[in-house]
Amino acid sequence: MRFRIAIAAAAMTFASMLGASAQTTVRMLTPEKNPKINAFWESVIQEYQTAHPDVSIEQQYMSGDAMMAKLPTMLSSSAAPDIFFSWGGGVMRSLSQTGAIKDLTADFDADGGAWRKSYSPAAVDAFSFDGKVWAVPYKLSMINFYYNKDLFEKAGVDGDAIRSWDDFLAAIAKLKAAGITPIAVGAKDKWPVHFYWAYLALREGGSQSFIDAKAKRGDGFKSDSFVKAGELLQKLGEAAPFQRGFEAAGWGETLTDFADGRAAMVLGFSDTPENLPDSATDKKGIGQEKIGMFAFPSVPGGKGDPAETFGGNNAWLVYKDAKPEAVDFLRYATSPANQARYAALNADIPVVASAASEITNPLLKSAAESVGKSPFHQNFLDQDLGPDVGWGVVNQMVVELVTGEISPADAAQQIQDAWDLQ
């Protein structure tokens, strides 16, 4: 009898050991550092783990620049994450072509397309090509000018009246005359400067100029829209509107200069005001009530619709060999109910249109409304054009433009030459 009991106990112990070994760990790589957003994800993860006790979701943080540099190596090793953040565009396309990420079309179309229908068609389209869905939409961002109301008032500038490029240049002149640094920018990181060139090209030629250039139609990135954008950017650089040492400043220093009140403007993300206290020397900064916002100005003779927007389309990619639970977790995490919770954080723009009504922050709400009304939302070019052209050429050319090291025509030619090789 004691022998049979011992055998039964051993069997139960072995079964318990099997149960423990059946625990599934899903690794999730994110560049997110906002405490509120991280708390949201921790809550969602805890809820999912409670409902699925055999699944563990592990978050790993890595800065965006580090992720871009290290991800290719990670995806070819045992350190590959099951889920990882994506900026979409050419980088995502490259990963799909190498077979590194999972085709999610069947998952989106399961159950009568329930998951697909939870998003706006544009959100899914942003991460689809060749008839397949390659990512789970997460959030949007829009690039706008943010300004210090007190510094504008001191210089006699009305931020609400800035509509055109001439208005913008006049504001810069007034700020300089008042002894105020007009703009903080981080040329060391290069990509903050590309915001200017991309937006100027969008205002010059409109969405069609980007559609044609990416499709390699006509003159592409050598067309007048992109050359003129370079000319305007170069003239802006000649006006010396940036902080001293901007060539060696990164995005972090840029935010600190603006948050501490040492510069009147910054061209930043829709979550920039939210992140300013963390960037300020005193961890408080100028306060959101002291921050105004205006859309990127129209340009003289430009064909672009001023309602067209520029920013990010962010999503989650799933590794080709990810556990099935990774997709199931993302389906839960990005449900309309959780998107509404995310929107209520007032940290970024959700991809489910109905969730935007939960935003209460005036600056973010205005940005969300602008994106919602936009007839065209151009993704960041350093993402949209892929790592070789976007990061390797566009970002370098725009810095050389603003510092006067290259002519607008030559910069456009180099970008087109690189794009021709894709």
User: Can you give the pLDDT at residue 10?
Assistant: 46
Is the pLDDT confidence value at 375 over 50? yes
pLDDT tens-digit readout, 30-62: 998 888 899 999 999 999 999 999 999 999 999
Transcribe 209-256 into DSSP letters. HHHHHHTT-TTGGGSHHHHHHHHHHHHHHHT--BPTTGGG--HHHHHH
Same domain for 76 and 175, yes or no, is: no
Q: Is the pLDDT of residue 11 over 80?
A: no
- Degrees, nearest 5: CA angle 157-163-166: 75
Both 291 and 407 in one domain: the answer is yes
Are residues 271 and 406 located together in one domain of the fold? yes
pLDDT tens column, 388-404: 999 999 999 999 999 99
* CA atoms of 171 and 111, how far apart (whole Å): 55
- Asked whether the predicted pLDDT for residue 8 surpasses 70, the reply is no
For range 124-151, the mean pLDDT? 93
Other CB atoms within a 10 A radius of the CB of residue 422 amount to 13
For residues 229 and 331, membership in a common domain is answered with no
In this prediction, residue 85 carries a pLDDT of 94
**148 and 293 housed in the same domain:** yes
Could you tell me if 177 and 108 lie in one domain?
no
Mean pLDDT in residue range 287-300: 96
Q: What pLDDT sits at residue 74?
A: 93
The pLDDT tens digits for 401-419 are 999 999 999 999 999 999 9
- Quick one: 197 and 315 in the same domain? no
The two structure tokens encoding residue 209: 């100029």
Tell me how many domains the chain contains: 2
Phi (first) and psi of residue 117, to 5 degrees: -70, -15
281 and 415, same domain (yes or no): yes
Listed in sequence order, the residues at least 6 apart from 70 whose beta carbon sits closer than 8 Å to its beta carbon are 62
Average pLDDT, the chain: 92
The parent domain of residue 408 ranges over 142-310+381-420
Question: Mind listing the pLDDT tens digit for each residue in 57-75?
Answer: 999 999 888 888 888 889 9
Based on the domain organization, do 151 and 270 belong to the same domain? yes
User: What pLDDT, in 10s, does the model give residues 18-27?
Assistant: 444 469 999 9
* Kind of pairing between the strands at 309-318 and 377-379: parallel
Per-residue pLDDT for 3 more than 60?
A: no
Taking the model in full, what pTM does it have?
0.85
Contact between residue 203 and residue 306 where contact means Cβ atoms under 8 Å apart: yes
pLDDT computed for residue 65 by the predictor: 80
Which token pair is 336?
Answer: 């309309």
40 in the same domain as 117: yes
CA dihedral angle for residue 201, residue 203, residue 206, residue 212, rounded to 10 degrees: 0
Asked if residues 172 and 264 have their Cβ atoms less than 8 Å apart, the reply is no
Greatest mean pLDDT among 77-91, 126-140, 393-407: 393-407
Q: Looking at the structure, tell me whether residues 116 and 66 fall in a common domain.
A: yes
Q: Are 142 and 370 in contact (CB under 8 A)?
A: yes
Please report, as a single letter, which amino acid is at residue 386: G
> Which pLDDT score, from 0 to 100, does residue 22 have?
63
The reported pLDDT for the residue numbered 18 is: 46
Query: In this structure, what CATH number is given to the domain that contains residue 268?
Result: 3.40.190.10
Same domain, 45 and 174: no
pLDDT band at 386 (very low <50, low <70, confident <90, very high): confident
Instruction: Kindly give the pairing relationship between strand 144-148 and strand 83-86.
Output: unpaired
